[in-house]
Amino acid sequence: MDSHSSEEQRSIVFPFVPQKKIPQNAILALGNESWEILRKLLPGHQEKKFSLGKILENTNFSCVGPATGSPAAALFLEQMIASGAKNIIALGCAGSLQPGLLIGDYLLATGSLSEEGTSSHYFPDQKQPMPDTKAISALADILQKKGISFQEGMVWTTDAPYRELVWKVKKYQESNIYAVEMEISALYTVARFHGVALAAIVVISDELFTFQWKRGFNKPLFKEKFHHLAKTILESFICLEKK
């Protein structure tokens, strides 16, 4: 049990709280690929500086990014929350650990295994950060209404992509973990800490399940599927804006 008083637990450093809040609905772009697609889908929206990156704003939603890696993703999310975001979709890519999950497929992250260093600063004993179930259900509903096929499963979040070792991939395959990426467990941890709703979805960009690295980052299928997913999520927020 933590023996520190509430005053001792107070963070000395904290996000800037702006006078003008951003919309409650937001998309957090994980990586440059996600950000560039969102930016192209919102022509005419001026990019403004936000945290370590940029923001694109509509009346009812904002897009923020690009965030790569758990420390950066947590910094972005902390600033988004301090700025007024409460309902957040994180959009990124991941490497598949399972033969039934191929390049271009969609995975809704229903849980995570943390092998990153950020989450322990919020919940020291939490190894498997979980998302807000209502946020997951809401995102699943958006996809189902559009007839988009997706899978659901846990992801492994790592800080060291070049240390995705054969024995680890084998172990996590057997543990029914679907994919590996670099941000989601930290995002689920920070969202839980602050009591906001966040769901993450990824497009499979590469495959590791044969214990050889099959890259799909530059394949037309991956880019098309990423574009389609981003467009669908944006359209759902735009529909909210029109209501």
Question: How is residue 3 written in tokens?
Answer: 């023996």
Which class for 96: exposed (0-12), middle (13-18), buried (19 or more C-beta within 10 A)?
buried
Residue 176 carries which side chain, given as an amino acid letter?
N
Q: Please tell me the total count of domains within the chain.
A: 1
Which residue, chain included where needed, has tokens 């399972």? 98
Structural domain contains residue 48: yes
Range of the domain at 165: 25-242
Which has the minimum average pLDDT: 5-19, 157-171, 194-208, 222-236? 5-19
User: What whole-number distance in Å separates Cα of residue 119 and Cα of residue 71?
Assistant: 9
Domain presence at residue 13: no
Residue 16 belongs to some domain of the structure: no
Q: Give percent above pLDDT 90 in the chain.
A: 85
The answer to whether the beta carbons of residues 178 and 96 sit under 8 Å apart is yes
Q: 203 by DSSP, 3-state: which?
A: strand
Q: Is the pLDDT of residue 241 over 70?
A: no
Cα separations in angstroms, 120 against 23, 124, 185, 193: 29, 4, 10, 12
This prediction has a pTM of 0.95
Could you tell me the CATH number of the domain that includes residue 49? 3.40.50.1580
Q: Is the dihedral of CA 173, 175, 179, 182 positive or negative?
A: negative
pLDDT of residue 2 exceeding 80, the answer is: no
Residue 170, domain member (yes or no)? yes
C-alpha dihedral (87, 192, 230, 113), degrees to nearest 10: -170
Residue 11 domain-assigned? no
User: Which has the minimum average pLDDT: 28-32, 52-56, 151-155, 200-204?
Assistant: 52-56
The answer as to whether 217 is a domain residue is: yes
Q: Is residue 142 within 8 Å of residue 119, measured between CB atoms?
A: no
Classify residue 5: in a domain, yes or no.
no
With respect to residue 10, please indicate whether it lies within any of the assigned structural domains. no
